[in-house]
A = this chain, B = another copy of it.
Amino acid sequence: MVETNAGAFLLPGPVNMHPRVLQAMSAPAMNHRGPEFKEILSEIHGLTQYLFGTRGPVAVLSGSGTAGLEAAVSGLLRKQDRVLNLVNGKFSERFHELCQVFTTPTALSFEWGTAVDSGKVAAALDSGDFHAVTLCWNETSTGLTNPIAEIAKVVKDHDAFLIVDGITAVGGLENRMEAWGIDALVTGSQKCLAAPPGLSAVALSKAAYESLHADTSFYTNLKAHADALAKQDTPFTPAVPLFLAFREALRMLKEEGLDNRIARTRRLAEAARAGFDALDLRLFPDRRFASNTVTAVRYPTGLDDAAFRKELREKRGTVVAGGQGPLKGHIFRIGHMGICSFEDLEAGFQAFETTLARMGHITVR
């Protein structure tokens, strides 16, 4: 079906995996309670702390990013705890839904594509006794990065826990979790780390770790997972192949250097934004807060989402994501995190340009 091999896999997750990572995953069965797996967990423990930039407790769960968010919320909070959910996109909206199951949440909403306003957060915290605040650091659905440092300062000033969805941020955006005062920071394996989907990781502040309880969850019991990893163990059978791939991806991150990866991701984002400017496509989010890991662009009037993405996929071997919720049909999104290269991005833009031209939306220059 694909006419060319020059395409690019540019989803905002799962992202391209390196052959080293794929190969690590296909090892034969292993005793997950034996000495070999203990060594693997020990290495993962250290490398995950490196990824998060912390020396504090971390947990790795066999479950997607949502499992990590559930672990953080259900482990730190109780049903009666009041929580302020900062909502400005699909993923922060889901974070709010999750909090409805485990806590007593209030949503503070902002227009999709605009950033969370820390002044409004301060006002909301002044008006009520909130135990915690949740923030989706990088809103994958709108391609927007919220100003986490200033939001964190407001939350700390109000002495609440800050629980952060960093699923498409950690490993791709500058992260100072300890300096800023993040209490729980969650990521997923299939984003900036470029490992397969299926694992999530949670890093905790000392205060958060000391507040963990086990009243409202079992499989995602965060204390059990954090304590087990510190002893090179897991509370339940781990998804062994994913741990092997995760370790290899973490090794590759460390070989590149976290700061180098973040800088490369920023340069890729700048190139992507320049590319869309050149194609006369408009960014969806407020440009001042455009994400460095995910770029979301508006479709020109009359360009059909399904037809565009089908043509891209089938004729150009290029995979991008559409919009979600109210943005479905109005935007498309590309990821440029993980091991994404300038060549991948260039191949993607060649496909975009050709496809836009074939569909009559630009004149080939």
Contacts and interface: CB of A to CB of B under 8 A. Distances in A.
A170 to B, nearest CB: 16
A8 to B, nearest CB: 11
A101 B218 contact: yes
B9 A28 contact: yes
B197 A240 contact: yes
Interface stretch (A59-67, A128-136, A156-164): A59-67
B26 A23 contact: yes
A123 interface: no
A241 interface: yes
A66 B225 CA distance: 13
Contact of A219 (B9, B26, B199, B220): B220
Interface string A222-245: 000000000000001111111001
Which one of A27, A219, A240, A321 has the highest number of Cβ atoms from chain B below 10 Å of its Cβ? A219
Contacts of A70: 218-219
Contacts of A242: 198, 239, 241-242
Contacts of A313: 34
Number of copies: 2
Which one of A29, A66, A220, A245 has the highest number of Cβ atoms from chain B below 10 Å of its Cβ? A29
A197 B238 contact: yes
A153 B63 CA distance: 36
A319 to B, nearest CB: 5
Contacts of A245: 241
A98 interface: yes
A75 interface: no
Contacts of A141: none
A253 interface: no
Interface residues of A, number: 54
A354 interface: no
Interface stretch (A13-21, A176-184, A276-284, A293-301): A13-21
A97 to B, nearest CB: 8
A217 interface: yes
A26 B25 contact: yes
Which one of A15, A17, A70, A198 has the highest number of Cβ atoms from chain B below 10 Å of its Cβ? A198
A102 interface: yes
A30 B22 CA distance: 13
A113 interface: no
A315 interface: no
Given A198-B241, A241-B241, A236 B66 contact: yes
A190 interface: yes
A166 interface: no
Given A198-B198, A198-B239, 5 more contacts: A66-B237, A97-B218, A197-B237, A198-B241, A219-B220
